[in-house]
Amino acid sequence: MSRLKAIALLLIILALTACGAAEPTPGVSTGSTPVGEAEPTSEPAMMQTPTAGQAAVTVDAGVTATGTVAAAAAGTTAEPEMTAAATTPRTEAAFPFVYTDANQRKVTLKQRPRRIVALFPVNNETLFAIGAGEQVIAVDDFTAFPKAAAAKPKIGGNNFKFNTEKIVGLDPDLVITSFGTEEILDKALRDAGVPVLATPYPTSLSATYDLIRDLGKITGHVDEANQLSTKLRGELEAVQRRTAKAPKVPVYYETDASTPGKPFTVNKGTLGDELLSVAGGRNVFSGVKSGQVSFESIVSAKPKVILLGDVKGYVPENFFSPTSVQEVKQRKGFSTIPAVRDNRVVPIYVERIVPGPRLGQGLRDLAVAIHPEIFGER
């Protein structure tokens, strides 16, 4: 795995990790630091009869589409809901159905999974928000929100190392991973006969809503997922309405400065780039190909706002190389940047700027930092 891919993957892992610090509302800063070829599951594992409470899962490789859900053409059954009946008729979860995952594998879930090992905070926060937390029996080391998820048994993840033996020993009927883990985890689990499903990492708001709804279908919480998706869309659109007519402010958003002199940012085709635009900003590096830029190019771009997603106190302790507002201001040549001159270098909670239930708050954080005059929080 190249360094760039490794960094991108760990950023996904870290993205929703709670930082353990109080979360002040971001505002104008004062300078203080407030994956290889997939192989199908072996035939013996596919032919096993599921035990009580376990979902039978089959997998086919070689599918071209990614991240989509399709209802099975025949044999659809509905599992009884375990919660009290709501006033409105509930949407019955349709099993079996076929999910085409991020590794281009068709995964057939024959019934609702009851023992899920769920990896990555991006997935886990949503699973608990839609009421699937009781089905989750273990999570990765980075999952820290909500508290109920953090209290689950941990199965590794630091330095891209997961405890495969522990996962197998938990006898899960489904492991939910994410894009980028095929060679470091998924294949080994399938070889051990464990059903695996890799979700995509959304690169747009539309894909974010899709992921939430997909997780609802996968776990049998269709209504809850639809409601969360609708609620999140409403929050995001509320912010967008307030920034729609505002001037597009030139913004530089730094996600990771672990490579000396060449920090990472968001470029076109990423969720971060879309969020900056919706928040009323103009990403000065939307056109770069690699997402990695030089100090010199940042100075030349003359951003009026610098947003930092890698500040000490705003990121987990195990973050690659956290920085501070003051350190950024003191970089060579940065004193000439309008954002630095005008004291508009703002730390952002990165765990909110990811495709999950708190994304509405994350977008508002960005909008307040970019257009404090609109939100009355200058």
DSSP string, 7-51: HHHHHHHHTT---SS--PPP-S--SS-------PPPHHHHHPPPP
| pLDDT given at position 348 | 94
Which single residue is written with the structure tokens 């769920």?
A: 118
What confidence tier does 174 reach under pLDDT thresholds 50, 70, 90? Answer: very high
**What is the per-residue pLDDT for 54?**
42
Per-residue pLDDT averaged across 240-265, rounded?
Answer: 95
Helix (H, G, I), strand (E, B) or coil at 277: helix
Rounded CA-CA distance 295/130 in Å is: 42
**Residues in Cβ contact with 8 at an 8 Å cutoff, skipping those fewer than 6 apart:** 180
- For strand 116-118 and strand 105-109, is the pairing parallel, antiparallel, or unpaired? unpaired
The span from the CA of 258 to the CA of 4, in Å, is 11
Per-residue confidence (pLDDT) for residue 176, from 0 to 100: 97
* Distance (Å, whole) CA 377 – CA 264: 28
Query: In the structure, what pLDDT confidence band is assigned to residue 321 with cuts at 50, 70 and 90?
Result: confident
Residue 351 DSSP code: G
Buried-state track 341-351, b at ≥16 Cβ within 10 A, e below 16: eeebbbbbbbb
Angle at 18 between CA 149 and CA 117, to 5 degrees: 30
Query: Rounded to an integer, what distance in angstroms lies between the CA atom of residue 333 and that of residue 295?
Result: 8
pTM higher than 0.85 for the full model?
A: no
Domain ranges for the chain: 3-34+242-375
Element (H, E) at 86: none
CA distances, 269 to each of 101, 154, 204, 215, 273 (Å): 20, 33, 7, 23, 7
> Model confidence over 266-278: pLDDT tens digits?
999 999 999 999 9
Whether 252 and 301 have beta carbons less than 8 Å apart is answered as yes
- Omega cis (within 30) before 153: no
Task: For the chain, give the mean pLDDT.
Answer: 81
Q: What angle, 0 to 180 degrees and rounded to 10, lies between the N-to-C axes of helices 222-243 and 359-370?
A: 10
Mean pLDDT of 18-45: 34
Give the pLDDT band of residue 70 (cuts 50, 70, 90): very low
CATH of domain 3-34+242-375: 3.40.50.1980
DSSP type of residue 286: T
Is 295's pLDDT higher than 60?
Answer: yes
Q: Which residues lie closer than 8 Å to 300 by C-beta, 6 or more apart?
A: none
pLDDT digit string, tens, across residues 357-370: 999 999 999 999 99
With bands split at pLDDT 50, 70 and 90, how would you rate the model's confidence at 144? confident
Dihedral angle of Cα 141, 143, 149, 155, to the nearest 10 degrees: -20
Question: How is residue 39 written in tokens?
Answer: 């192989």
